[in-house]
Amino acid sequence: MFSNLSDKLDKALHILKGHGKITEVNVADTLKEVRRALLDADVNFKIAKDFTTTVKEKAMGQNVLTSLQPGQLMVKLVKDELTELMGGEEVGINLSGTPTVILMSGLQGSGKTTFSGKLANFLKTKKGKKPLLVACDIYRPAAINQLHVVGDQIGVEVYSEPENKDAVAIAQNAIKHAKANGFNVVIVDTAGRLAIDEQMMNEIANVHKAITPHETLFVVDSMTGQDAVNTAKAFNDRLNFDGVILTKLDGDTRGGAALTIKSVVNKPIKFIGTGEKMEAIDIFYPSRMADRILGMGDVVSLVERAQEQYDEEEARKLQKKIAKNEFGFDDFLSQIQQIKKMGNMKDLVGMIPGAGKALKDVEIEDDAFKHIEAIIHSMTPLERTKPTVIDGKRKIRIAKGSGTKVEQVNQLMKQFDQMSKMMKMMQGGGGKNLARMMGG
């Protein structure tokens, strides 16, 4: 995420390292580079200029008051300003209605339908809601089907009227249906066009007026940079929406949209999309995002994701198995699956402080566990529960079956062995064994 911007800011902030004091000259040098970094990230000129002016004023003002090193001070000031630029505090969505009506707007291809599904899934699994998805695209039958596919995937009902060409009526009928059937959130996915046009704007404005949503969300593809900001402006002028959803932040986006949308439309970014899967949705926290941009990682989000996946029941079962020496490859596989649920590897590594920078030239496979899973899937049930039976002949068969090499199978066996030993030590005797293992 924003690796280019992170790199450039890092270089800019390095200028002050080693300087004992903030001076007019070294601040100016640093901020010149900061401004360049922002412009390269597709932040518009005026915003980049205001940004550096504010940081400069604060830096000069705080010069004598702080015990921080100039380098640290500047990192802090830039971080605070980035946070401010992206909206300051996070802003949630209003779920007060019965049902809560959420209208989705945005151009075709922005990720509206995908996000509608993600949001429904998020509200269902994290907030205990019963959402209804509504297909209001009266032009593209494929769009209606797409929403049905998404709904099936996450187990959420989809309301559609394929023959009806009146978007307002469909939305109104859907809300009636929701009221009659106990749905407490209605998410209305509307028709998008490839570019802004009057007819589309009128249509969505009419739907908006007729159903008076509690939340109108504008979905925008972060890869489109300044265009994203212009589109946001056009939609906001018509709909006066409540919040922005930035999608495709998992791609190689420069960051301009995330950094400027708030100050252009004065509406908060509420969620981000970080992948094609239904789980790839995150609440947008400006401060955490600023940390990530500055390579400071995002430990809070990492821990939260780990906690979400932590299943006490499973953990207890696992402990028992380890104690009885029954930890096998199936358990190993389910551990991997838990990690995978936390998100894609690139994303996770980016949350570890310093790791993003250190590993920036290392190719991280999106599916880093692909080989391991293939190898385990090629094992027989006996081999999985009793790995000691795996001899040379079996290894050759497993390698063939999984399209890997015997060395890879060996490597996995070794990793598995180490992991089982380690788990056993951590459990039996706890700290004492661990201390012995560490040479204590």
Is 385 marked as binding a ligand?
A: no
Of the candidate residues 213, 275, 343, 350, the single one contacting ligand GDP (CB under 6 A): 275
Rounded-to-integer distance, Cα 83 and Cα 91, Å: 13
Most distant CA pair in the chain: distance in Å?
Answer: 75
Of the candidate residues 87, 99, 192, 350, the single one contacting ligand GDP (CB under 6 A): 192
Of the candidate residues 3, 52, 113, 301, the single one contacting ligand GDP (CB under 6 A): 113
112 binds ligand GDP (CB under 6 A): yes
Is 109 marked as binding a ligand?
A: yes
Rounded-to-integer distance, Cα 171 and Cα 174, Å: 5
Phi and psi angles of residue 356, each rounded to the nearest 5 degrees, phi first: -55, -45
Q: Which is nearer to ligand GDP, 114 or 236 (CB)?
A: 114
According to DSSP H, which parts of 190-311 are helical? 198-211, 225-239, 256-265, 286-293, 299-309
Token pair of 241 as six digits: 């929406």
As measured in angstroms, the least distance from the Cβ of 113 to ligand GDP is 3
Is 189 marked as binding a ligand?
A: yes
Distance between alpha carbon 108 and the CA centroid of its chain, in Å? Answer: 21
Q: Which is nearer to ligand GDP, 289 or 423 (CB)?
A: 289
Residues 333-392 that bind ligand GDP (CB under 6 A): none
Q: Which is nearer to ligand GDP, 194 or 362 (CB)?
A: 194
Q: Using alpha carbons, select from 83, 241, 99 the residue that is nearest to residue 157.
A: 99
As measured in angstroms, the least distance from the Cβ of 100 to ligand GDP is 21
Q: Which residue has tokens 């702080």?
A: 66
Distance between alpha carbon 336 and the CA centroid of its chain, in Å? Answer: 20
141 binds ligand GDP (CB under 6 A): no
Residue nearest to ligand GDP (CB): 273
CB 146 within 8 A of CB 114: no
Residues 65-104 that bind ligand GDP (CB under 6 A): none
270 binds ligand GDP (CB under 6 A): no
Is 52 marked as binding a ligand?
A: no
Angle at 405 between CA 404 and CA 409, to 5 degrees: 85
Of the candidate residues 79, 129, 248, 371, the single one contacting ligand GDP (CB under 6 A): 248
As measured in angstroms, the least distance from the Cβ of 119 to ligand GDP is 12
114 binds ligand GDP (CB under 6 A): yes
CA distances from residue 423 to 327, 341, 428, 429, 436 in whole angstroms, order as listed: 9, 22, 9, 11, 14
Q: Which residues bind ligand GDP (CB under 6 A)?
A: 106, 108-114, 192, 247-248, 250-251, 273-276, 280
Instruction: Please enumerate, by residue number, every residue annotated as part of a binding site for GTP.
Output: 106-113, 189-193, 247-250
